[in-house]
Amino acid sequence: MPLKPINTYIQEMPRSGIRRIMDSATAPDMLHLEVGQPNFATPDPILRAACEAIMDPQGRFTRYTPNMGYASLREKMAAKLKAENGIRTSPNRILVTPGSNYGIMIALSVLLNPEDEVLAPDPGYVSYTSLPPQFGCTVRRYPLYESDGFTPRIESIAACITPATKVIVHNSPSNPTGAVCPESFVTDLMALAREKDLYVLSDEAYEHIVFEGRHISPARFDTDGNVISIFSVSKSYSMTGWRLGYVVSSEPIARALEKQQELCVSCAPSISQKAAEAALSLDHGYINEMVEQYRTRRDIALKILKRHGLFRYTPQGAFYLLVDISATGMDSNAFADRLLEERRVAVAPGATFGPSAERYIRVSMATEDHVLVEGLEKICDYINTKTI
């Protein structure tokens, strides 16, 4: 007798195109432009702090931590949030998580009830739209505008709100577009959230990687507990494999997050927490140097696109760039597959990020300069060769 079927939604949910391409691009001659993983080494002080924690004579840091994370780390996080983000919060309202992606999941799990609705950017990171249906919820997408550098418009978000809407997802700097939202938009978003009694889930994983403008955290304007902020050390300190993020929220939500984390993973990895303490103790010299290299790569990438007649917009932050492939007539998955097979270049298909990105591929500039240049030249040549 056959077993009863597993979760139907999970069975039918498509894989992220990023990981699908990454898993296919295993040959040594591949040029990797698909994954948002900094090519820089984790700074030495962070590595030393982790080694010291592992080798602690009393073994204090190879055991469970509190569900919320080490108090010493959360104190550093609270100080950082006040100094850099203008967010005044207590350590007791900070949950340390095994990665910011998990932070998004656990935040949605405590916010949503069945039949609630989430508004997510289109294009936007895949988790924003893949996770809510797992909690019996629906997703409505609000548009980002290429003519505005892929920033949203407050009137378009307002037009998407229905009686079922509970959460607006905000992401700046943006994955996959690199857009940075101005302060005027953020204040308008907060006014809308207060007026409609909505939560804002603010994904700020790329907060430090800004080339023009300034990163503005919505929670700096939050007076009523509307905002749940998601932060990470992965991109700022090249610590993707350490799996360490944190969620900042109101007191009631923090207590719900604490209970949920206890059930799911108990706590974030202890050694990664000690490494994050060291990361937050560093000055911004490392980050500034890394951002300048990303800025240089972005400018190189834009010059290549302009030379091939494929320039569309200028990313202001993060390390991603959408490249228009519409002239080929191919959908983004087919284009990414054929590019991988025929030119040995791995990119993320735009469809992964939403319907409006079907005519694009996402290029990650978090790679060596020569890989970016060679890969983009091959991409541009391929597009122009396949133009219908």
Per-domain boundaries in the chain: 8-42+285-386, 63-281
Of 19, 23, 24, which Cα lies nearest the Cα of 36? 19
Q: What is the pLDDT along the chain (388 residues), one digit of tens a residue?
A: 889 999 999 998 888 888 899 888 888 999 999 999 999 999 999 999 999 999 999 999 999 999 999 999 999 999 999 999 999 999 999 999 999 999 999 999 999 999 999 999 999 999 999 999 999 999 999 999 999 999 999 999 999 999 999 999 999 999 999 999 999 999 999 999 999 999 999 999 999 999 999 999 999 999 999 999 999 999 999 999 999 999 999 999 999 999 999 999 999 999 999 999 999 999 999 999 999 999 999 999 999 999 999 999 999 999 999 999 999 999 999 999 999 999 999 999 999 999 999 999 999 999 999 999 999 999 999 999 998 7
Distance of CA 207 to the CA centre of its chain: 10
| Cβ burial 167-180 (10 Å sphere, 16+ → b, else e) | bbbbbbbbbbbbbb
The pLDDT score that the predictor gives to residue 33 is 96
- pLDDT, residue 14, reads 84
Predicted local confidence at residue 268, as pLDDT: 98
Query: Do 63-281 and 8-42+285-386 have the same topology in CATH?
Result: no
Q: Which CATH architecture has domain 63-281?
A: 3-Layer(aba) Sandwich (3.40)
CATH superfamily of 8-42+285-386: Aspartate Aminotransferase, domain 1 (3.90.1150.10)
pLDDT of residue 34: 95
Q: What is the model's pLDDT at position 26? A: 87
- Whole-angstrom CA distances from 332 to 29, 195, 211, 311, 371 are 22, 38, 27, 18, 21
Q: What are phi and psi of 349, to 5 degrees?
A: -65, 135
pTM equals 0.96
Question: Of 313, 314, 304, 321, which is closest to residue 384 (Cα–Cα)?
Answer: 304
